[in-house]
Amino acid sequence: MVFKMIGIVKRFGGLTALDHVDFEVGSGEVMALVGDNGAGKSTLIKTMSGAHAPDEGTIEMEGKLVRFRSPQDAWESGIATIFQELALAGKMTVVDNIFLGREIRKPVLGIPFLDRQAMRKRTGELLQQLDVHVPSIDSWVESMSGGQRQGVAIARALNMDARLIIMDEPTAALAVAEVRKVLEFIKTLRTQGKSVVLISHNIQDVFEVSDRISVMRHGRCIAVRETAKTTPQEIIGLITGAHEVRAAAS
């Protein structure tokens, strides 16, 4: 197991957002995380990515206990997160955004100057790898389409050479062709031996790319299924709690 969360509890005031959640991702595996709105998916990945600190429970990365006190810690442990809101700085260029927080430096007399040349070159490589087309790598991110901005966010995650990549609703706002690109990219990541956690509402996408599916409901992880051995109906039933209704009715 590359990544393991055991007994995670997270409370906000009187609300228990995560109630003793166990979650794990294997090496080179695509794990889908599904659940209805308010089930706790976003909170779980924010905890995974270091934006929240859990109130209880442990996190292990490649067998070692880790504690993330900030998103920076998570990045440094090899977890790259692509948030639903993308977390891009609109009035900054593609290059600047991809390297935000991990700029390539060229120290002169101990002062860490920006190495713009190296960053531009790497940006070109990344965009080519992802087959993302932008008007210019110097254009502002806010002037680009949803798919291009998604591409920039993915490029940023790719740039980090991470072990685990978390993607929160990556295809939600994209056109059909762009969705295809994202799904192909996820498969590519798997062939490279990286692990992916994918949150998605789109059961079709989930069944196309994932190896296993974790279902969350009311702050708990109620089921983990192997994608090949389950059906969309079963997953949807778990998400909506149909089985609970059935159990109560019988």
Q: Which residues bind another protein (CB under 8 A)?
A: 13-14, 49, 51, 70-72, 74-75, 81, 83, 85-92, 96, 99-103, 105, 111-114, 120-121, 123-124, 127-128, 131-140, 156
Q: Which residues is 242 bridged to in the sheet?
A: none
Give the closest residue to 195 by CA, choosing from 9, 48, 15.
Answer: 48
Q: What are the C-alpha distances in Å from 179 to residues 15, 37, 119, 183, 205?
A: 35, 22, 27, 6, 9
Helix (H, G, I), strand (E, B) or coil at 189: helix
Q: Report the C-alpha gap between 209 and 242 in whole angstroms.
A: 25
Element (H, E) at 217: strand 212-217
CB of 41 to another protein, least distance (A): 16
Q: Which residues, in sequence order, are CB contacts of 213 under 8 Å at separation 6+?
A: 31, 32, 33, 34, 206, 224, 225, 226, 227, 230, 235
In the complex with another protein, the residue whose CB is nearer, 154 or 235, is: 154
CB of 20 to another protein, least distance (A): 19
In the complex with another protein, the residue whose CB is nearer, 55 or 234, is: 55
CB of 167 to another protein, least distance (A): 14
CB of 135 to another protein, least distance (A): 6
In the complex with another protein, the residue whose CB is nearer, 86 or 209, is: 86
CB of 102 to another protein, least distance (A): 8
In the complex with another protein, the residue whose CB is nearer, 136 or 250, is: 136
Q: Which residues, in sequence order, are CB contacts of 187 under 8 Å at separation 6+?
A: 30, 209
What token pair was written down for 135?
A: 């008007």
CB of 67 to another protein, least distance (A): 16
In the complex with another protein, the residue whose CB is nearer, 1 or 100, is: 100
In the complex with another protein, the residue whose CB is nearer, 132 or 239, is: 132
CB of 247 to another protein, least distance (A): 32
Q: What are the C-alpha distances in Å from 247 to residues 129, 241, 242, 243, 250?
A: 49, 10, 8, 6, 5
What token pair was written down for 98?
A: 């991809």
In the complex with another protein, the residue whose CB is nearer, 81 or 200, is: 81
